[in-house]
Chains A and B, each alone.
Chain A
Amino acid sequence: NAGVTQTPKFRVLKTGQSMTLLCAQDMNHEYMYWYRQDPGMGLRLIHYSVGEGTTAKGEVPDGYNVSRLKKQNFLLGLESAAPSQTSVYFCASSSRDTQYFGPGTRLTVL
């Protein structure tokens, strides 16, 4: 059981570039989440999904898009990266209240 995995672990982008972060879970969880964590702040929810084919906006969705084509995968896309999107991104999944997290992706936008 790998739990929740994220790829890539690190990435450096130039302003305006695009990229996709992949999250995969093998726990058959219905719910999946994307968060960002910035220094001195708690985790902030970007987007989430309550099931395959569904997505919803969280607290800070602007500049990001997501897709949940398969139950086990949740993709986070940045169409035109900005320096304000420099952050650590965490994916999580849950069946109820307890969320299980991936190891994170450290993204730097220059």
Chain B
Amino acid sequence: DQQVKQNSPSLSVQEGRISILNCDYTNSMFDYFLWYKKYPAEGPTFLISISSIKDKNEDGRFTVFLNKSAKHLSLHIVPSQPGDSAVYFCAGTDSNYQLIWGAGTKLIIKP
């Protein structure tokens, strides 16, 4: 039972354009969502988060949108840069401090 789904294993975007990464969840008890970025041979690094009481959170080039009724969140990266090429994971938590992870989306930024 996959509680967090990232249905696109990979995404290719032109440098300078917008990258949109999607994530769906099934657990209504999730009250906090996080996005992590992972480079090869490194551990995941925290990128941005959003509380379930909000529908948008912005940090520089990164914006996360949450649609609770659709149980869907998305990460927007504008403009996309070569250094953004990585695997992006979304995760949800119901405040027991355990994260439930999606399988990840590999983002490739083309020059």
By a beta-carbon cutoff of 8 Å, the part of chain A in contact with chain B is 4, 31, 33, 40-45, 48, 50, 58, 90, 92, 94, 96-104
Contact = CB atoms under 8 A, between A and B. Distances in A.
Contacts of B34: 97-98
Given A40-B103, A42-B4, A31 B97 contact: yes
Contacts of A99: 46, 99
Q: What does DSSP make chain B's interface, helix, strand, loop or mixed?
A: loop
B9 A50 contact: no
A103 B32 contact: no
Interface in B69-111: 89, 91, 93, 95, 97-99, 101-104
The CB with the most chain B CB atoms within 10 A, among A4, A97, A104, is that of A97
Interface of B: 4, 6, 9, 32, 34, 41-46, 49, 89, 91, 93, 95, 97-99, 101-104
A42 B103 contact: yes
Q: What does DSSP make chain A's interface, helix, strand, loop or mixed?
A: strand
B45 A101 contact: yes
Contacts of A102: 43
B97 A101 contact: no
Contacts of A45: 98-99
Contacts of B95: 97
B93 A104 contact: no
A42 B89 contact: yes
Contacts of B9: 40
B49 A58 contact: no
A99 B104 CA distance: 17
A13 B6 CA distance: 33
